[in-house]
Structure 1
Amino acid sequence: MYDLSDIQKQIGIETLHDCCWTCSISELSSYWQQQYRQPEISCKCMSLLHYNIRHFYSNQAELIDMVNVFSPNIISLNELGTTIPKKIINQLLFSYNVYLKEGTNSHGDVVLAVDKRLSCQQIEINEPNLIAVRIRIDNQRFVVASIYSPPTEQLPLTTMTKLVSEAKNVIIAGDLNAKHPDWGCLQVNTKGRKLANWLIQHNLSVLNSGIKSSLRSNTTIDLVISGEIPETSESKSLSYTGSDHLPILTKFFRLNVLMDKHLVPRTYWKIYSSILTVLIDQFKDEQENYSNSANSTHNWFLILEQFLAALKLRVTIWKEVKRKRPSISPSLQVLLRHKHYLQNRYRHSRFEEDRLRLRSWNVTVKREFQALKQRSWEQFISNVASPNPSSFWRTVKKLNKKKSVDFSAVTEANITHKSPVDIVKCLSHHFTERHSLSSLNMTNTLDKEADELWKLFSSADTNDIELVLTQSDLKFNEQDVKNTIRSLKNKSSSGFDQLSNKMIKLLPTHYHGMLTHAYNVLFRYAHWGKEWKMARTICLNKSDNPAPTTNQLRPISMLPTFSKIYERLFLIRFNSWSSKMNILPLQ
C-alpha cells in the first residue's frame, strides 16, 4: 500500500468497504456494474467550417489553430493553391476522413473533411471542383458538399439538383462567386440570379447571409446553404487573415453530435489484484457451497466472471481528454504564424524592407521543416536497423498496415442494406449459411464410421460417461492451468463476458487451484455451458468499398476467456491421449 497514491488508497478502502456489505457476490457485482459503468459523453451542436484557404502550405498553421480552437465536425476547403497530395492533408487532419477532388484552374482542389466519429460515405460524382458525402447525424441522413465555382465558369446547378434529390437534408458550402442582395451583397451578377432562383425552387436558405467573407471587397461570396431554418443556426466569420477570404463557422443547434472529447479509462490493476487476494477465502467458501455437479460448477464460473468484470469497473476512473494532438511542434507553429504576419505586412505595405524580412524568414521556416523531415527519416532508419526484432517489425508493420475502411452498408445479391437492423439480419443469414454443418456422404467409409460413432456417443448414459471420466487419468493439474493462463496473449479485448486476457493473467496464484478443481469437475461431466459457446463477432472490411459485399468482410470472434482456457486444457489432454494411444501419425 506504500507505493499507492492517495486516490488509489481511497478507491481501495472504498472497495473493501463495499465488500463488507451483507450481500452476495452476485448482488455486489450487479451494483458495481450499474454504479460504475462508463459515463456517457455529452453532446454539442454540429459545426461546419468553410475556408477558402487560397494557399494550403502557407496557411496550414491557421487551419490547425482553427481546428484546435473550434473543433468543427465538418471542414470544407477551397482553392488549395496547388495540387496537394491527400497523404499530406490526412496527416494534418488526422482525426477526420478526408475527401479530395481536383480543380479546373491553377488555384487547386476541393477538400471535404468529416469527423471520424460521424458515419459517412462518399458520393461518386465525375465532376471537378465538387465533392460530396452522405452523413448520418441524429439518425438523419444528410448530404454534405463542398463546391468551388471559378468566376469564369457556370454554377453546377444540375449536379446540385441531383444532390438535393439524394436526401431530404442537404448542406452545401463553397466559394460560388455568386453575388445577390438576398445574401447581403451590394451587387448582383448572373451566377447570383441563377443561384437565387435555384434556392427558391428547392426551398433552401443561405445561412451566413450578410456576413463578410472577402478581404478584397465588402461582399459575401463564400456561402453555406442548407434546408435548415436560419433561426436554428448561427454563422460568423473568423478573424484569420492568412488568405484573402475569411473562414466561415456555422453551428447547427438542431443537430447534436458527440463532444470533441473522449473518455479514457484508467484502471488501477494493483488494487484489482490486491482486492482479489483479500477475497480468496470468500471465493473458496463460495465454491464449497456449490455441489460438485456440472451445472453448479459452471454457475460458479459465471459468478466469478461477473465479479471480475465488475471489480475492474470499480477500480477504474474515467477522464475526459481532448482528442486533438498537434501534427507539428509548437515551435514550428510559432514560426509559421510569424511568417503569416510578415506576409500580410508586406501585402499591405509593399516596402522593400518588409519583402527582405519575409524572404529571410521564409528561408528559416523551410530550413526548420527540412530538419524535421531529416530527423524523422533518421529515426525511421534507426528503428529499421535496430537489432531488436520487435522494434524492426513494429516499424515495418506501419508501412504495410492498411486501416480497415468503415462500412455503413452491406451489399448482398445486388441489394444494399443500409439500416442497422437490415445489416444484422443480412450478416446473420450469410454466416449461418457459410458455417452450416456440412452434409455427410454415407457412401464414404470414413463419413459413415464417424456418423455411427457420433450416434453411439450421443446415446451414451450420463452416468456411464461420468464413471469413465472419473477413472481416467486425463485430469488437469494446477501447473497446466498456470501454463495455459501464461500462454494467453496480453490483450484487453473481451467478449460478452467482459473479461479480457489481461484480467485473467492478473489473478493471484491462489485462484489457480480453485480453477483447476472447477475445470476438472466440468471435464468429468463432459460439460460445456451454452454461455461459453457465444462469441462476440466484429466484422472488418477487407475492401475500400464503404458498402462491401458479405464475402469482403472478415469476421473476428471473441469467445469468453474461461472458455478459451478450457479449450486449451482439453487440447493438452487430447494430444496426450492421442499420443499415448498412437492414433495420430508423427508429422
Structure 2
Amino acid sequence: MPCSIVVFNGTHHNDETVKIFSKHYSNYNTYWEKGTNNFGGVLVAVHRSIPVQKVDIFQHLPNVIVLDIGTAADKFQLATCYSPPNENLPISLFDKILKRNINTVLLGDFNAKHISWSSTIDNHKGRALFNWLATNSLEVVNKFVPTSTRSNGTIDLILAPTHMIAPTSSFCVLPSIGSDHFPVVWTPTAKLHKRDCLYPIKRTYWTLFKLFLVFTFSFWNDMSSKTDDIMHFFSTYERFLALLASRLTYVSYCSAYKPSLPPHIIKLIQQKKMILRLARKTKHPLYITQLKAYSTIIRKEIFAHKRLSWLNYCSTLNAADVKQFWKKARKHFSVTNPPINGFLSNGAVISSPNEMCNLAKSFYEDQFSMHINTTTSIEIE
C-alpha cells in the first residue's frame, strides 16, 4: 500500500539500520531520533515529492520528531512521540508543539489507555492524555480499534485537528507484519501540493500480445490436455498472461493528466476488480452475483457518462458561427468509406466473399440490363 508519509515508533534501531532503510527507500527523506531505552526510537519517512523541513527548536529530543510538511498554502506540523510504559507523557512538550502551530497532527505509541478511545481499563497516561485533549483542539482519529497484538488496547494514536477529520477521511488497521503492534493507515482530507509528482502512463502493445498468444497456443493447449491439476494449470497460465502483459507494457510519466472517466466510475471499476479476484479465488456464489451486478451498474454508468458528455459537447456548437461549427463538425465525418463486411439478403447476412460477389453481380446486372421497351424518348436519346 503506497503511503506518502510513514511513521515508525519504538524501533530500537541504530545508525546502521537507518542507513539500510534509507538505501531501500531512496525516494523518501528519512528522519530519526534515538530513544531513552532499548525499545525506543522514532523514525519518519516522507516522500521526496512533498516539501518537508525539520523544526529546529525540537531537534535532538529522544523519542520525538517534529516536521513542517507542505508549502505555505497547505503547511501543517507533524509530530511523533514514543512514550515508554514506565515514563510519563511529555505533556509540557506537547503544549510547546501545539503552541508553535495549532495545525498539528500528533501521533505515536503513547501507551495511553482510556475508555474514550480504547476498549480497556484506563491507566494514568490515558487519563493524563484525556485531560490534555479536553483543553485543546485535537481529537483521536482511530478510536476503539486495537493496535496492540497482546491486548485489546488502542495505544497507537493519531491526534488531529477537527477540520482534518472530515467524514471523507478514513483509517484502517492492517494485519501484523511481525511487530507486536498493528500498522495503522490514515487517509486525511488534506491534499498536499507535490513539487515533482509524476503520474505513470502505461502503454501495452496488444498486437504483440495477441501474436504471442497465437504462437504459444499449441504449447498451452497440449499442457491443458495432459495435466491432471486444472487449478495449477490455470494459475500457471494466469501468471504467464500477467508476465507477458508486463513485458509488453511501457511506462512514461507526465506531470498532469485528465482521467477519461469520472472518479465514481473509476472507484466502481476498482471495486469490481477486487470482487473479481475474490470470485476467482473462492468461487463463492455471493461474489459471482456481486460481480454481475457491478458489471451492469458500470455499463449503465459509462453509457450515462458518455451521453452526458455528448450533450455537453453538442451544447458548445454554435450554428451562428458557421466557420467554427464546421470546424468542429468536420471531425465527425469520415474521409474514407467503411469496409463492407457483408450483405443483408432476404433477412440473412451473407459474409462469404464468393456469395457477396455473386449477389453484387446479380444486382448490378439487373440495374444496367437493356430495357424491354426501347421506344421511349429517354431510350432514344
- TM-score, L = length of structure 1: 0.32
The normalised TM-score by structure 2 is 0.49
Higher relative contact order (CA 8 A, sep 6+): 1
